[in-house]
């Protein structure tokens, strides 16, 4: 009887290890293969260069600088300017300028065309949208708050977000250990998946 219990215990232990490995692979695969919202957003600098009200369509030029030094690329990305209601105020025309994306150490000018909704004084967000120029499905990579004010343009400083909870795959709160996938829930409502490898 003890032999059967030992064999059964060994089978269950092996199955649990296999399930853990499978869950780890499934959790990590989208990060490596599909480029989820990136941690490099805080390494992107965007500055207003000019607003041309005489051209048709009206244009807005932004300088984009990437201050990271990894091989990550924001693939085929474009810029979109939205007001606080989510209405599009300006967008980068398809297949204009650098259509390949933002890469390490890049400094370039991106030109957006203003829509009829464009107002010179507003609060909103400037978004980096991945796959904008690819013709495929797009997804939001980064979002930067921006204010057009009568005295100029200023980037709204973002307060540092704080971790509210750390959850394991089962949804239980944990302090976290190495080689364990965790979900970090922040006070601003964002959630990040992280695995700290030894």
Chain centroid to CA 103: how far? 14
Lowest mean pLDDT of 56-60, 72-76, 121-125, name the range: 121-125
pLDDT score of 113 more than 60: yes
Residue 80 to residues 62, 173, 175, 180, 192, Cα–Cα distance (Å) = 11, 37, 38, 36, 24
Q: Which of 75, 73, 65, 62 is nearest to 44 (CA)?
A: 65
- Sign of the CA dihedral running 33, 35, 36, 38: positive
pLDDT digits (tens, 9 = 90+) for 13-70: 555 555 555 444 444 433 333 333 566 788 888 888 888 877 788 888 889 988 887 8
3-class secondary structure, 6: helix
Residue range 140-198, pLDDT digits in tens: 888 888 887 655 455 554 566 777 888 887 888 887 777 788 877 777 777 777 777 66
Whether the CB-CB separation of 101 and 110 falls below 8 Å is answered with no
Element (H, E) at 147: strand 139-149
pLDDT at 11 over 60: no
Q: Which CATH architecture has domain 39-155?
A: Sandwich (2.60)
> Which pTM was predicted?
0.56
d(CA 185, CA 161): 10
């Amino acid at each position: 009887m003890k032999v059967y219990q030992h064999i059964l215990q060994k089978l269950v232990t092996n199955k649990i290890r296999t399930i853990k490995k499978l869950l780890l692979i499934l959790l990590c695969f989208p990060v490596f293969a599909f480029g989820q919202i990136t941690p490099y957003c805080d390494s992107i600098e965007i500055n207003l260069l000019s607003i041309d009200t005489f051209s048709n369509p009206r244009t807005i030029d932004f300088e984009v600088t990437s201050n990271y030094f990894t091989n990550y690329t924001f693939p085929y990305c474009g810029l979109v300017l939205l007001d606080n209601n989510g209405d599009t105020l300006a967008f980068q025309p398809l297949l204009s300028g650098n259509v390949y994306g933002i890469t390490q150490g890049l400094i370039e000018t991106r030109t957006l065309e203003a829509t009829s909704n464009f107002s010179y004084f507003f609060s909103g967000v400037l978004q980096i949208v991945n796959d904008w120029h690819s013709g495929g499905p797009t997804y939001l990579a980064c979002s930067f708050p921006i204010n057009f004010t009568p005295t100029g343009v200023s980037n709204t400083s973002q307060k540092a977000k704080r971790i509210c909870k750390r959850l394991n795959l089962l949804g239980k709160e944990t302090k976290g250990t190495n080689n364990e996938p965790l979900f970090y829930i922040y006070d601003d409502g964002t959630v990040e998946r992280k695995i700290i490898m030894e």
